Amino acid sequence: MGASDLRVTVDQPKLRCVLHPALALGHPFGPQLALGLTRAFETWLTRSFWQVLDASEWLARRSPDCGPLPDAAALCDWIALRDSTDAGSWALRWVGDNLSESQTRGLDGDGLLDRFEWLAEALANRRGSARPREWDLADDPLHGALDAVALSAALEGALLLCPVTPSGAARPGPIQALASLDIAVCDSPLARDASLYPTERLVVRQALAAAGLAPLLDLLLPLAVVHALVLPDTGTEDAAVSAGDPWARACVNWYLL
């Protein structure tokens, strides 16, 4: 074999990216966006995303007056992709109801599923309302936002890519959801002199452009990145933490992409 035939491939870890269900399901380009993200990121889907797919027939019969519906074309494409893809061939990852229904690719043994369940349950306890029936979870935007935040935290603060609604709201949905549960958030991490978030923002934008997603994302702007990190329990926190609420020691930052 000549020297010119020698090729060396170096696999570098990718940034973890949780895709908000609204980006995966809210427009006809959802599947295209999700698969495109895998070229640049370790891309994760939320559990609530699969709940929407499982409830697709029920959602199709629901009146639009009840709230925003998933895009019909996106639902059809996702269902077709699910039906035609072998379970071990997915480039996307997710946490399911149990380990056999998850696609974690090497993270099975580090307690990811248990950590996610713990964080999601703590958010549900803060919400304080009765848990919706399983088929109603797909019809609950707040549940989808909190589900995505819990996955970000379970993945040690992985970036959560989400839309900023054009309704004039100053904050993206996950940040509004956390604020409604009295969880403190930082609205301006880009303004801190010592913060690495300005550098991360540039890295993320370059990765999205390198993945060929600039034309698609130009149709979906504005977008935001959210990071949710739950700090370790040092044993010095207040009564809320001692009562078992990990979100009392959460560090949440977000910025416009």
Quote the distance between the C-alpha of residue 231 and its chain's center.
Answer: 19
Query: Using CA atoms, how far apart are residues 44 and 34, in angstroms rounded to an integer?
Result: 9
- Give me the residue spans of the domains in the chain: 13-60+68-256
Upper half-sphere CA count for residue 87 (Cβ side, 13 Å): 7
> Do 161 and 217 meet the contact criterion of CB atoms below 8 Å apart?
no
pLDDT in tens, the chain (257 residues): 455 566 655 556 789 999 999 899 988 999 999 999 999 999 999 998 988 888 776 665 565 555 566 788 888 999 998 888 887 778 899 888 888 778 887 666 578 899 999 999 999 888 875 454 444 445 567 888 899 999 999 999 999 999 987 665 678 889 989 988 999 888 878 877 788 989 999 999 999 999 999 999 998 878 999 999 998 877 655 554 545 789 999 999 999 98
pTM of the model: 0.86
DSSP 203: H
